[in-house]
């Protein structure tokens, strides 16, 4: 029997604007719920975003006045975080560079060779008129020898521009057979929507277990790990970030890597090389899931007064198993299930009796260590 949770209203939570690419597990839609819950944490000033992805949560936290540490193992996330949380040059400075890059003539290079499709070909991530521009722009960015922060602003602009003209379903593990209408548009670099930096922020690109060794205590840690998959028939259907977004790594590094497979992925994006422990769907010899063990260890070791944990109903860990971990130590303040498509958030009080049969729910747990 499903028990009705109490509904929480998020309509009056003003979330600052954020920017990001299409990203599996992006918390764009969840931001009002996240900050509605965090508003209840008293006197919080410092915020750690451990699996930052698009960095949208960090962008919102920074604008809401938190001194923010933004971490993700992926290089594209570090580039976005550097752009939004560390760059201080005025827009005019970057606009001149973007205008110069936009004015370059396209040229045939490595990206066109591997990722550019002609109008009658499909199943490529970009149309050739845009990879020609990408080849010219990416070579020129290296030639300009900008410092790391300025390079991050320009690369963020380039990735946002590529994301607006791509031919994907939101990742680069496969491409659409028929060109997406947006892929006909022209690649055009625009100024990233940065905001004034009122606090000193920090950017890390580390495995989460190294990051928590390096971090000082924070008032709040927001943890949004990959969910793996609970689809027993097709566990490989889970999101694998390194393989889904290999192309952004290549655009950032411009290292012309060895590629494999139909989607032309980087060799180093194979599961055997880069899969995250949180994406692991198998069980350890003791019978418990690796992903769940990793989560339990993370909650134990993270140095924060409060933790807001995000998870999904399609993930490897169940609602009940998460409650089990969160009840063994600390104090669970909120256990919430969000159906953001219906704009509903329900607080579930500490019982295990909640039916988790609903599809596509987002879970949020506010936990005090
Ligand atoms: C669910 S997504 C986070 C989405 C993010 N909150 C957003 O709104 O865009 C999970 C992220 O965890 C990162 N990740 C996976 N394993 C990691 C690890 N061991 N340490 C740090 N980051 C990791 C992935 O690169 C991915 O960006």
Query: Does the pLDDT value for residue 196 go beyond 80?
Result: yes
Q: Half-sphere exposure (CA, 13 Å, Cβ side) for 2? A: 9
CA distances from 268 to 115, 128, 247, 249, 328 (A): 17, 25, 12, 10, 38
Q: How far is ligand 1, taken at its centre, from the CA of residue 27, in Å?
A: 11
214-269 residue pLDDT tens: 888 899 999 999 987 676 666 556 788 999 999 999 999 999 999 999 999 999 99
Q: How far apart are CA 70 and CA 72, in angstroms?
A: 7
**Residue ranges covered by each domain of the chain:** 1-87+201-240+284-369, 88-193+241-274
For residue 214 the two structure tokens come to: 């390096």
Helix (H, G, I), strand (E, B) or coil at 342: coil
Query: 226 CB less than 6 Å from ligand 1?
Result: yes
Which pLDDT does position 214 carry in this prediction?
86
When pLDDT is cut at 50, 70 and 90, the band that residue 107 belongs to is very high
Query: 154 CB less than 6 Å from ligand 1?
Result: no
Beta strands at 344-347 and 331-339: parallel, antiparallel or unpaired: antiparallel
Which pLDDT does position 279 carry in this prediction?
86
Query: 56 CB less than 6 Å from ligand 1?
Result: yes
Q: How far is ligand 1, taken at its centre, from the CA of residue 76, in Å?
A: 11
The CA angle 172-175-178, to the nearest 5 degrees, is 155
49-75 residue pLDDT tens: 999 999 999 999 999 999 999 999 999
For residue 143 the two structure tokens come to: 């030639």
CATH number of 1-87+201-240+284-369: 3.40.50.150
Query: Does the pLDDT value for residue 7 go beyond 80?
Result: no
Query: 57 CB less than 6 Å from ligand 1?
Result: yes
Q: Hey, which bits of the chain come out as E strands? A: 6-7, 46-49, 67-71, 116-117, 126-127, 202-204, 218-223, 259-260, 265-266, 304-312, 331-339, 344-347, 362-368
Which pLDDT does position 288 carry in this prediction?
86
316-364 residue pLDDT tens: 888 999 999 999 889 999 999 998 777 677 776 555 444 445 578 999 9
Residue written as token pair 């290089």: 75
Which pLDDT does position 353 carry in this prediction?
45
Q: How far apart are CA 361 and CA 369, in angstroms?
A: 25
When pLDDT is cut at 50, 70 and 90, the band that residue 76 belongs to is very high
Which pLDDT does position 1 carry in this prediction?
28
Closest CA relative to residue 342, chosen from 354, 358, 320: 358
Q: How far apart are CA 149 and CA 318, in angstroms?
A: 40
Q: How far apart are CA 146 and CA 151, in angstroms?
A: 6
When pLDDT is cut at 50, 70 and 90, the band that residue 5 belongs to is very low
Q: Which atom of ligand 1 is nearest to the CA of 54?
A: 9
Q: How far apart are CA 279 and CA 140, in angstroms?
A: 36
Q: Is 258 exposed, middle or buried (0-12, 13-18, 19+ CB in 10 A)?
A: exposed
Q: Whose CA is nearest to atom 19 of ligand 1?
A: 207
Average of per-residue pLDDT values in the chain: 90
121-151 residue pLDDT tens: 879 999 999 999 999 999 999 999 999 999 9
Q: Whose CA is nearest to atom 25 of ligand 1?
A: 74
Q: Measured in Å, how far apart are the chain's first and last C-alpha atoms?
A: 32
146-195 residue pLDDT tens: 999 999 999 999 999 999 999 999 999 999 999 999 999 999 999 999 99
């Amino acid at each position: 029997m499903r028990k009705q949770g109490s509904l929480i209203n998020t309509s009056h939570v003003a979330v600052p604007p954020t920017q990001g690419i299409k990203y599996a597990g992006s918390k764009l839609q969840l931001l009002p719920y996240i900050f509605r819950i965090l508003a209840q944490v008293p006197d919080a000033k410092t915020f750690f975003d451990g699996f930052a992805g698009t960095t949208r949560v960090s962008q919102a936290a920074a604008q809401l006045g938190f001194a923010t540490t933004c971490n993700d193992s992926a290089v594209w996330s570090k580039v976005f975080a550097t752009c939004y949380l560390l760059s201080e040059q005025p827009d005019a400075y970057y606009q001149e560079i973007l205008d110069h890059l936009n004015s370059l003539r396209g040229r045939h290079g490595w990206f066109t060779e591997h990722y550019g499709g002609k109008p009658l070909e499909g199943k490529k991530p970009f149309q050739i008129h845009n990879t020609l521009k990408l080849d010219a722009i990416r070579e020129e960015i290296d030639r300009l020898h900008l410092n790391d922060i300025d390079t991050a602003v320009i690369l963020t602009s380039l990735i946002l521009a590529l994301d607006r003209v791509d031919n994907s379903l939101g990742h680069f593990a496969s491409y659409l057979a028929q060109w997406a209408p947006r892929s006909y548009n022209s690649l055009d670099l625009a100024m990233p929507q940065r905001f004034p930096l009122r606090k000193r922020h920090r950017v890390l690109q580390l495995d989460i277990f190294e990051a928590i060794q390096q971090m000082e205590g924070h008032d709040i840690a927001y943890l949004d790990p990959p969910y793996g998959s609970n689809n027993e028939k097709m566990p490989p259907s889970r999101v694998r970030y390194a393989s889904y977004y290999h192309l952004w790594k290549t655009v950032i590094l411009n290292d012309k890597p060895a590629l494999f497979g139909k989607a032309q992925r980087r060799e180093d994006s194979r599961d055997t090389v880069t899969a995250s422990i949180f994406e692991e769907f198998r069980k350890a010899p003791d019978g418990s899931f690796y992903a769940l063990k990793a989560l339990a260890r993370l909650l134990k070791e993270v140095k924060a007064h409060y933790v807001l944990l995000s998870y999904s109903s399609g993930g490897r860990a169940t609602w009940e198993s998460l409650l089990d971990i969160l009840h063994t130590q600390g104090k669970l303040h909120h256990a919430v299930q969000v159906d953001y498509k219906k704009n509903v958030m329900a607080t579930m009080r500490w019982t295990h009796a909640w039916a988790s049969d609903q599809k596509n729910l987002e879970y949020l747990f506010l936990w005090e260590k």
